[in-house]
Amino acid sequence: MKFRKLLTLTGSVLLFAAVFIIDATMKSLDSDLGNFFYVRGALIILAFILTSFYIEADRRERQPTMIQRIGRVAAWAGLFVSLSIIVSLLRFNEFETRAFRLFPRDYITILFSSVLSIAAGAFAAITVLNIKDMLLYKRKKGTQRNFWILLIFFFLASATTLNLRPLEPSVYTTVFFVLSVAMIIINSFRLSWIAYLSRREKIYAMLYALLAFFAFMAINILLSISDRPFLAKALLYFSYPLHTFVQLTSLFGAVYFGMSFISTLFHLPTAEAFDRKQTELSSLHNLSRLITQVFDLNELAETVTKMTFEVCEASSSWLEVFPNDTGEKSAGRADGIVSYRNISPEDIQTILFGDTNSIRSLVFSSKRVLLIDDVSTDRRTKYISKLKKVGSLLVVPLVSHQNLIGILYATKQMDFGFDQDDIDVLSGFADQVTIAIENATLIKKSLEKERLQRELLLAQEMQKRLLPQTLPTFSTLEMRAVSAPALEVGGDYYDIALLDEHRVGIVIGDVSGKGVGAAFYMAEMKGIFQSLSKIHASPKQFLVKANESLLSSLDKRSFISLIYAVLDVVTGDLVVSRAGHCPMLYATSSSIKYITPTGMGLGLSGGKLFEDSLEEKRIVMKEGDICVFYTDGVTESRSASGEEFGYERLMKVVEEKRLSSAEEIKEEIIQRVWSYTDAQGYDDDLTVFVVKWIGAH
């Protein structure tokens, strides 16, 4: 790119130098060029084509804005006109007129006219190329076509003068000149770039356009007046086509920039509204982007007050957000103010709570936008009329699903500071803010939920560890247990303790209710069992002591059902006591039955009433005998039709599997319960503990 620019520049300079040498030679020979005249013309055209390429490449690199473009054209036009006028004033009567032709009187004239003409040509190229870009801004279908037609007419009008002597008139030239002017007028209505300028830019555009207009008019006058000044003569001498082209271009420039000036002038009154719309649009756009990016409520609030400030040019703004839609509760204190700008917290406090019927409470009940045009005279704001800084006040509620989630406030120092536009903008803005706040709150909630979920998983992990990881093994019996909570954590409990060399305590229980509360009581139960079971030999005694411990810590509505069996692993002697729990299922080779010693749940009642309710039952396990302990999750599991699994089914399962191992029996019970409840799953904790006596070998 650099190389090409350099090449075009060098090329055009060399060509222009060649033309100058030809002209100087002719002068010294005092002769006519004859047919060589066309060669000179071709050299000039080629030189200007290269110049145009150079200018275009240079412009591409700079990528100017519209304002820079007009400014540049105006600057070049001004410069060129000044130069032309100065030269024209200094030098006159430099040419002799003979047979429609101009002859320079000396070499310095040749130099001056050459330089001035080259400058004129370059300037014309700059003008046309810049106007082209302005025309093609927001182009329509015909825009580009119209421009090319204009350019073709320019060239045709110039071309008709190619074979003419400078002062020779031509019909064709006039025809194409008129056509060119027509195209200039058509093209001059393409001014859509003006609409997209800001107010400030429009003022600059007007200034530049006016300057350009006068400069182009001046060039036109210099080239058209009958008493030809030096510029006109120089151009005619250097190249008649160039003279025509420069004349057309300056006409184009004058008309186009004249139109630009007038059009901008008419656009000026709406410029402010346009600017506002633009700010509003970009603010809303920014906010929409924020919604997806900012999850921090404070950061969001800062942006909201800042934008409120900008969008309606408020003198102060603040945002109040109510946590959990309970705004009324925080009445009297401004603790919902998440962000404020250009106002002191004391003033906010006064405005919001200075009166029982404050504007805040008005918006609370109406949930509508409230505008106070003149704070000092309005009946509703009498109580804040002493605040000199607040002239007018706009209060916009943030409403989501009929809930007031916050209020946005904006003030202006002058009375009647807010117009309908401000209200519309801020209302639209408030809707966006509402969504943004809701989003931020939701994300906060979901993070919180995630955290709780993690805690719960941790609790689940902990609770699993409260259950025995492995059961002790004995040569005389098989033991298998399984427990599955319905929720993350549950209230089911089973445990085993070695009481002495040959006795084990087996306990299975169920804390009333579900979830975390039940899980805590279950943990407490574990502690009680592990400590008391070794001290109190009989199941009944243990239950009485456990009840005493629990009564003080269980809340009124909670209780624990427990079944406790002490088994002698040598003799098979089993003593069982029950505290409100499901009965033990006992299967022998000849019979199967539930063993139900009486007894009420732990934590229901204390003292003698509890103790007297308890019974102990004794069996002696023989080879092949099975004891099944379980929680009500087994018997109370319901099928899709609502029927419970029940005691009968449980009994049948164990009866069928009487000859199987403890492991198989446990698995079978679980599988049967699960398939019974089918797809709806079980909704209660479920625990099964199977003991099978295999006897001494």
Q: Should residue 617 be labelled a site residue for other proteins when binding is judged by CB under 8 A?
A: no
Complex with other proteins: residue 418 or 559, whichever CB lies closer: 559
Question: At 576, phi and psi to the nearest 5?
Answer: -125, 140
Give the integer Cα–Cα distance in Å for 664 and 216: 106
Site map (CB under 8 A) of other proteins, residues 673-692, x = contact: -----------x--------
Q: Which is nearer to other proteins, 424 or 643 (CB)?
A: 643
Long-range contacts of 4-10 (CB under 8 A, 24+ apart): 4/53, 4/57, 5/54, 5/57, 5/58, 8/50, 8/51, 8/53, 8/54, 8/57, 9/50, 9/54
CA 80 to CA 211: how far, in whole Å? 13
Going by the DSSP 8-state scheme, the letter that residue 583 receives in this structure is P
Least separation in angstroms between residue 595's CB and other proteins is 13
Stretch that binds other proteins, among 196-204, 258-266, 370-378, 598-606 (CB under 8 A): 598-606
- Is 600 a binder of other proteins (CB under 8 A)? yes
Establish how many alpha carbons lie within 13 A of residue 289's alpha carbon, considering only the half-sphere containing its beta carbon.
7
Q: Which stretch binds other proteins (CB under 8 A): 18-26, 169-177, 322-330, 557-565?
A: 557-565
Residue 235 · residue 93 · CB < 8 Å? no
By CB under 8 A, residue 514 contacts other proteins: yes
Q: Which residue has the tokens 């006039």?
A: 174
Stretch that binds other proteins, among 43-51, 285-293, 449-457, 507-515 (CB under 8 A): 507-515
Q: Are 397 and 248 in contact (CB under 8 A)?
A: no
Compare residues 296 and 612 and give the one whose CB is closer to other proteins: 612
Question: 625 vs 684, which CB is nearer to other proteins?
Answer: 684
Q: Which stretch binds other proteins (CB under 8 A): 155-163, 287-295, 366-374, 595-603?
A: 595-603
- How far apart (Å, rounded) are the C-alpha atoms in residues 194 and 604? 87
Which CB sits closer to other proteins, 397 or 601? 601
What tokens does 666 get? 């446990």
Give the residue with the Cβ less far from other proteins, 644 or 664.
644
- Residue 52 · residue 129 · CB < 8 Å: yes
Residue in 340, 559, 564, 682 binding other proteins, rule: CB under 8 A:
559
Q: Kindly state whether residue 565 participates in binding other proteins, applying the rule CB under 8 A.
A: no
- Under the binding rule (CB under 8 A), the answer on residue 606 touching other proteins is no
Q: Which helix (DSSP H) or strand (DSSP E) does residue 674 occupy?
A: helix 662-677
Distance CA(24)–CA(12), nearest Å, equals: 18
Q: In 3-state terms, what secondary structure has residue 439?
A: helix
Reading the block at residue 383, the tokens are 């109580």
Among 583, 619, 625, 654, binds other proteins (CB under 8 A): 583
The least CB distance from residue 684 to other proteins, in Å, is 8
Alpha-carbon torsion angle 380, 383, 384, 385, nearest 10 = 80
User: For other proteins, which is the closer residue by CB, 609 or 696?
Assistant: 609
Q: Which listed range, 8-16, 377-385, 450-458, 506-514, lies at the site for other proteins (CB under 8 A)?
A: 506-514
| Complex with other proteins: residue 66 or 511, whichever CB lies closer | 511
Member of 340, 532, 601, 634 binding other proteins (CB under 8 A) = 601
**Window of 132-140, 236-244, 528-536, 581-589 that interacts with other proteins by CB under 8 A:** 581-589
388, 401, 557, 697: residue in contact with other proteins (rule CB under 8 A): 557
* Binding flag, residue 513, other proteins (CB under 8 A): yes
For other proteins, the closer CB: 104 or 599: 599
Of 194, 233, 227, give the one whose Cα is nearest residue 69.
194
Give the contacts of 124 (CB within 8 A, at least 6 positions apart).
Answer: 245, 246, 249, 250
Residue 241 falls in which region: left (phi positive, over 0), alpha (psi -120 to 50) or beta: alpha
Q: How large is the angle between the packed helices 345-353 and 359-366, nearest 10 degrees? A: 60
- Contact with other proteins (CB under 8 A): which of 91, 202, 267, 581? 581
- Can you tell me which of 79, 281, 609, 659 binds other proteins, judged by CB under 8 A? 609
The contact pattern for other proteins, residues 436-475, with x = CB under 8 A and - = no contact, is ----------------------------------------
User: Which position among 41, 121, 505, 599 is part of the footprint of other proteins (CB under 8 A)?
Assistant: 599
Residue 605 binding other proteins, by CB under 8 A = yes
Smallest separation (angstroms) from other proteins to the CB of 557: 3
When the beta carbons of 190 and 514 are compared against other proteins, the nearer one is 514
Decide: is 580 part of the binding site for other proteins (CB under 8 A).
Answer: yes
- Exposure string of 572-591, with b = 16+ CB inside 10 Å and e = fewer, is bebbbbbbbbbbbbbbbeee
Q: How far is CA 171 from CA 21, 160, 161, 244, in A?
A: 33, 9, 10, 14
Among 126, 297, 522, 582, binds other proteins (CB under 8 A): 582
- Which positions ≥6 away from 456 have C-beta within 8 Å? 488, 489, 516
| Strand-strand pairing, 560-568 and 503-511 | antiparallel
List 308, 358, 558, 677, residue binding other proteins (CB under 8 A): 558
User: What is the rounded distance in angstroms from the CA atom of residue 29 to the CA atom of residue 52?
Assistant: 33
**Among 2, 388, 465, 556, which residue sits at the site for other proteins (rule: CB under 8 A)?**
556
Instruction: Write down the residue that tokens 């408020």 correspond to.
Output: 314
CB of 431 or CB of 611, closer to other proteins: 611
Beta carbons of 112 and 237 less than 8 angstroms apart: no
Q: Among 501, 642, 679, 697, which residue sits at the site for other proteins (rule: CB under 8 A)?
A: 642
Residue 318 binds other proteins (CB under 8 A): no
Is the Cβ of residue 556 or residue 697 nearer to other proteins in the bound state? 556
* Site stretch for other proteins (CB under 8 A), options 213-221, 419-427, 545-553, 579-587: 579-587
What is the spatial distance between Cα 235 and Cα 238, in angstroms, rounded to a whole number? 5
CB 589 within 8 A of CB 550: no
* Binding segment toward other proteins, per CB under 8 A, in 64-72, 222-230, 347-355, 593-601: 593-601
Evaluate whether 428 touches 488 at the Cβ level (below 8 Å): no
Q: Pick from 210, 301, 506, 604: which binds other proteins (CB under 8 A)?
A: 604
Q: Which residues are CB-contacts of 420 (< 8 A; sequence separation ≥ 6)?
A: none
Among the listed residues 282, 331, 343, the one whose alpha carbon sits nearest the alpha carbon of residue 311? 282
By CB under 8 A, the residues from 621 to 640 that bind other proteins are 632, 636
Return the number of the residue (548 or 667) whose C-beta is nearest other proteins: 548
**Closer residue to other proteins in complex, CB, 487/694:** 487
Q: How many residues bind other proteins (CB under 8 A)?
A: 29
Residue 571: CB partners within 8 Å, gap ≥ 6?
502, 620
Nearer to other proteins, 2 or 557 (CB): 557
Check binding of 327 to other proteins (CB under 8 A).
Answer: no
Of 120, 104, 143, the C-alpha closest to 44 is 120
Q: How far is CA 533 from CA 237, 441, 496, 661, in A?
A: 126, 51, 10, 28
Q: Is 275 in the site for other proteins (CB under 8 A)?
A: no
- Three-state secondary structure along 394-420? EEEEEEECCEEEEEEEEEECCCCCCCH
Smaller CB separation from other proteins, 58 or 644: 644
Examine residue 512 and tell whether it contacts other proteins (CB under 8 A). yes
By CB under 8 A, name the binding residues for other proteins: 510-514, 556-559, 561, 579-583, 596, 598-601, 604-605, 609, 613, 632, 636, 642, 644, 684
